Structure 1
Amino acid sequence: MSYIRRSLEKIVLQVTKEYPVLLLSGPRQVGKTTMLKKLMEGTVRNYVSLDDLQERELARTDPELFLQLHKPPILIDEVQYAPELFPYIKLIVDKEQNKGDFWLTGSQVFSLMRGVQESLAGRVALLSLSSLSQAEAYGGEEEMFTLDTESLLSRKKGRKLADAEEIFKRIFKGSMPAIVSGDISSPGIFYNSYLSTYIERDVKSLSDAIDSLKFLRFITALAARCSQMLNISELARDAELNQKQVKDWLGILETLGILFYLYPYSNNLLKRLVKTPKVYFYDTGLVAYLTKWSSPETLASGAMSGSILENYVVSEIRKTYLNQGKEAFIYYYRDKDAKEIDLVLEQDGELHPIEIKKSANPASEILRVFPVLDKPSLKRGNGAVICLKTDLSAFNKENYIVPVWMI
């Protein structure tokens, strides 16, 4: 597969000089191992994968011998299969005091975190890799998405302008490296294999009680509700599950890095707020496959076009932070009077309201809800409407019109 340079590479090299252990988490097939192997070229770092059942058995039953045979500096792939390694890695790290001795990857985020926090606290840098961002896939320097003028102008450099047709092609295709690189031409074939080979295998490793057909029905019902507030009872009804199963399976998808939540912005001066999170997928290609859209054109004109566009924008903004090794402080706003803001970006003591619209010419009336964030102890910063317009524009000096391709 032709290699696509990842924005996280420079962060990996930086933390390798500062920490003895790097743990890179993220879902399968997003390129964790590919990126780290690329960075290993020309070095003395060794490699071992715990997808190899013999290596996995040795790591679990005799971790000390495993680490004698596989000496640092080393990349250990899919380390979640042998949490028994963590205490022994700690012993080596404390004894040798070498930076960058261990690179670890894993596909099960929260199960990994538990083992790391218990054994390697203070010794490990935690990074997350998702599927490709727009900048990685289609060109341009990547930086965290903000709404100051200079940052927005700099985002245009090296990027390829994209109209509505092109944006929905990107949404439909998805952001998995194998598809974006052109090595696999059919998203449908890829996602069918991805569900059955990778997700189903990992799901069953986390819960033996899962029925494959029921799980497919569940994740399909969830995909149809992307960008919506999570409704456990509706999901349970449509997927023919009980509410406990739904909660358990949502936890598994979050653990595998398939979905994430956007929580409502909360402040004690903002009363009457809803408390339910909204659910998003990292990869819209998987959503389009699950919800059975046959082409970018049918998706763009279909009933889900607005919600999947919102999912795409929110996930892309989140990726710009993850790719710098940062946490994105993003929320949504909705109160019990049904006033809603799609996205609230908190940065440097300011709240930036953002609306997401499937329009090339958004109306200024959209801005009317933004003042709900004006409270004595809060400062409202620049706002924006992110939409299908092809060039950067503005309603006024405080509110921009930002094309989706510039995220």
Structure 2
Amino acid sequence: MDYIKRAIEEVVEHSAKTFKCILVTGARQTGKSTLVKHLYSDIKQVSFDDPFVEEQAKNNPEMFLSLNEPPVFLDEIQYVPSLFRYIKQSSDNSDSKGLFYLSGSQPFKLMELASDSLAGRVAIIELPPLSLREIMKSNYTSPFLPTMEYVQDRNKEAIKPSNIWKIIHRGGYPEMQDPDMDWAMFFSSYVKTYLERDVRELAAVQDLDAFRRFMVACAARTGQMLNYANIADEVGKDANTIKNWISILEASGIVYILEPYANSALKRAIKTPKLYFRDTGLAAYLTRWLTPETLATGAMSGEFFETFVISEILKSYSNRGLDYRYFVSYYRGKDKKKIKKNGAETYEEAEIDFIIEQDGVLYPIEIKQSANALADMTSAFQVLDKIPEKKRGTGAVICMCPMPGSLRENVLQIPYWFI
């Protein structure tokens, strides 16, 4: 299969000119090794997937680095964490940039190791699965923002896919873009490798069958609020174990935990986070939606579409090297408005699927699988007007509408392929 150009290439190349070490991290099979090998085919490459090489590096790290002088690409570096201190020493002995190219499949663990040992020397770059832009071979790189300026700019080359449910069902792992790759076989191998390598490495989980059931239970809840007790009851484990296992999924790039928007002005907000799988293909495999057609018409189609849209928005930021974790959220609570019900005053619950915060402006987003966007879908956006120190920016309904348009003042309808 031909190499698929990655949107993050420019970020990697710029980082290599300004930092001594470049760490490309992300979940398994997102294309980290392929990316680095494509950009730097002329440098030496060493993979710690080879047990013999791993043992050499662990037993005699100084000799290992003397035999593999920079510039060098060290793949699956998470298997030799002790090597980081020696990489630091080697980096400090040189004024050159782009000395060590590192990659690995345990994002949070590697970020922690790199931050502790290589602070100021390393650029940490998270490579997500392929975005819709990359699959459609788009060169557009600006992060998504629901503004008229963004929509006008994106309109120049936005391409609608012929079958979005086929893309959602197959997911964004590069190998799955090969039409000859068997969907079930790929994900079966993926889950097996993930359980036997990453799960045991991160937390020494012994009961892998229970962890597999746990993954299925989480996939069935993508796009929903995270209820630890509910998952614990289904899996037959206690809530603390489930919390620990959720952290494993997050640390290895399998799921994303979307935190609720927090502000003292919103006194009736729900403080429970939401869970999203980072790849819809993996979630579809775990929940046994075997074809794009059954997924599109099934009971979870709305959750899968929301998961896909939020994942695409996050990719538009991470592909520019931006850490989105601190400026995205969602809102759910009873701050919307007072209503009279059975003669008593109560608050009607409101929900905003996604909020992007930028320069003190909150951009609310509603996600609907429908092709028909209605202004009433955005009535909850007014909740954000209660926050005195923030300004509410343009809001949007992201849906399957045929073209962008205005629903009301300051609210747009945006097709999903404009993300």
Please say whether Structure 1 and Structure 2 have the same fold, judged by a TM-score greater than 0.5.
yes
* Equivalent position of 2:54 in the other structure: 56
* Pairing partner for 1:241 from 237, 244, 255: 237
Gaps of 5+ in 1: none
In 2, are the aligned partners of 1:139 and 1:160 still within 8 Å (CA)? no
TM-score normalized by the length of structure 2: 0.93
* Equivalent position of 2:305 in the other structure: 309
Deviates more, 1:254-263 or 1:192-201: 192-201
* Equivalent position of 1:88 in the other structure: 86
* Aligned-partner Cα distance in 2 for 1:169–1:350: 35
* Equivalent position of 1:368 in the other structure: 379
Deviates more, 1:263-272 or 1:318-327: 263-272
In 2, are the aligned partners of 1:148 and 1:382 still within 8 Å (CA)? yes
* Pairing partner for 1:392 from 404, 409, 414: 404
- TM-superposed CA distance for 1:16, in Å, is 0.4
* Pairing partner for 2:207 from 202, 206, 211: 211
Secondary structure of residue in 2 paired with 1:96: coil
* Equivalent position of 2:143 in the other structure: 144
* Equivalent position of 1:341 in the other structure: 352
* Aligned-partner Cα distance in 1 for 2:312–2:247: 22
In 2, are the aligned partners of 1:22 and 1:125 still within 8 Å (CA)? yes
In 1, are the aligned partners of 2:136 and 2:161 still within 8 Å (CA)? no
Q: Deviations over 1:212-263 (max 9, x none)?
A: 2211110000000001111000000111111122112111111111111110
Superposed, 1:2-401 pairs within 5 Å as 2-41=2-41, 43=42, 45-140=43-138, 141-162=140-161, 166-184=163-181, 186-328=182-324, 329-336=327-334, 337=347, 338-374=349-385, 375-401=387-413
* Aligned-partner Cα distance in 1 for 2:161–2:60: 54
In 2, are the aligned partners of 1:167 and 1:405 still within 8 Å (CA)? no
- TM-superposed CA distance for 1:281, in Å, is 0.9
TM-score normalized by the length of structure 1: 0.96
* Equivalent position of 2:343 in the other structure: none
Identity %: 45
* Aligned-partner Cα distance in 2 for 1:114–1:57: 22
* Aligned-partner Cα distance in 1 for 2:391–2:16: 38
Deviates more, 1:269-278 or 1:49-58: 269-278
* Aligned-partner Cα distance in 2 for 1:138–1:182: 15
- TM-superposed CA distance for 1:200, in Å, is 3.3
* Aligned-partner Cα distance in 1 for 2:106–2:195: 11
- TM-superposed CA distance for 1:397, in Å, is 4.1
- TM-superposed CA distance for 1:183, in Å, is 4.9
Q: Deviations over 1:96-115 (max 9, x none)?
A: 12111011001111221222
- TM-superposed CA distance for 1:198, in Å, is 3.4
* Aligned-partner Cα distance in 2 for 1:17–1:310: 37
* Aligned-partner Cα distance in 2 for 1:189–1:27: 18
Gaps of 5+ in 2: 335-346
Root mean square deviation, CA, Å: 1.4
* Equivalent position of 2:341 in the other structure: none
- 1:178 partner letter: E
- TM-superposed CA distance for 1:210, in Å, is 2.8
- TM-superposed CA distance for 1:150, in Å, is 2.4
In 2, are the aligned partners of 1:264 and 1:276 still within 8 Å (CA)? yes
- TM-superposed CA distance for 1:207, in Å, is 2.9
